[in-house]
Amino acid sequence: MRRPIKKKRSWKPDLHYKSEAVTRFINALMWDGKKDTARSVVYGALAKIKESGAEPLETFDAAIRNVSPLMEVRSRRVGGANYQVPREVPQARRLALAYRWLITAARSQKGKPMAEKLATQLLAASKNEGEAIKKKDEMHRMAEANKAFAHFAW
C-alpha cells in the first residue's frame, strides 16, 4: 500500500528578516526545542556576515542555492541486484539537505562560537566553496557515475 501524501506546511516569516527560509533554517538548527538559542545563533551569524560587508539575506539565499543538490542516487532492487539509480531531487528535500549540510559543516568545526562557524560556512557556500559544497559535488559525482542505470528510474 502506498503511503499517504504529506500535507505541505506553511511557515511564518522570521521576526527580523521576514523570510520563511530563515525560519526553516532556525528550526533545522534548533536542538531540544531551544528555539531562542537557535534564533540567536542564526541572527548572530547573519550579523557577522553583515559586518564582513556582504548583504546577509542575499548571502544566505546564495549559499542555500549553491548547496542545494539537483541529482541524487537512490537504491533500487531489480532482479536480485541493487542499483544506485540517479534521480532528480524534489524541491523540499533539496532545501532540507542544504540546511542539514550547512549545519553539519558548521558544527564539525571546533574552537569558535556557533554563530561564527555558521557565518563562515554561509560565506564559503555563497562563493561555491566549503564543506557543504564538497558534499553536494560528491552527490552529483555519484549520480553522474551511475547514469547508466537511469533507465531503472521509477
Q: What is the pLDDT of residues 92-129, one digit of tens each?
A: 999 999 999 999 999 999 999 999 999 999 999 999 99
Which of 57, 83, 82, 66 lies closest to 127 in space, CA to CA?
Answer: 66
Whether the pLDDT of residue 148 is over 90: the answer is no
pLDDT, tens digit (0-9, with 9 covering 90-100), for 133-147: 999 999 999 998 988
| pTM more than 0.95 | no
Cell numbers linked to 138: 560528491
Per-residue pLDDT band for 153 (boundaries 50, 70, 90) equals confident
Residue 61: phi, psi to the nearest 5? Answer: -65, -40
Residues 6+ apart with CB under 8 A from 2: none
Please give the CATH architecture assigned to the domain spanning 20-152.
Answer: Orthogonal Bundle (1.10)
The helix/strand/coil state of 8 is coil
Cell numbers linked to 32: 531540544
